[in-house]
């Protein structure tokens, strides 16, 4: 999981092909500083 501004980005890293797949991007009004 990656926190960018007010967005939570869930991603999966594939070791065999060395690619990153974005699974879900959530926008929230909350502050995610605690994560």
Count of CB atoms situated within 10 Å of the CB of 33:
6
DSSP bridge pairs for 11: 22
Contact between 12 and 21 under an 8 Å Cβ cutoff? The reply is yes
Q: What is the pTM of this model?
A: 0.52
Cα(23)–Cα(35) distance, integer angstroms: 18
pLDDT tens figures, 1-35: 777 777 888 989 988 888 988 888 888 766 656 66
Contact between 1 and 9 under an 8 Å Cβ cutoff? The reply is yes
pLDDT score recorded for residue 19 = 92
Q: If you search the block for the tokens 């065999």, which residue do you land on?
A: 16
């Amino acid at each position: 999981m990656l926190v960018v501004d007010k967005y939570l980005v869930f991603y999966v890293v594939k070791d065999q092909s060395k690619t990153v797949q974005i699974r879900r991007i959530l926008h929230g009004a909350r502050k995610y500083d605690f994560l």
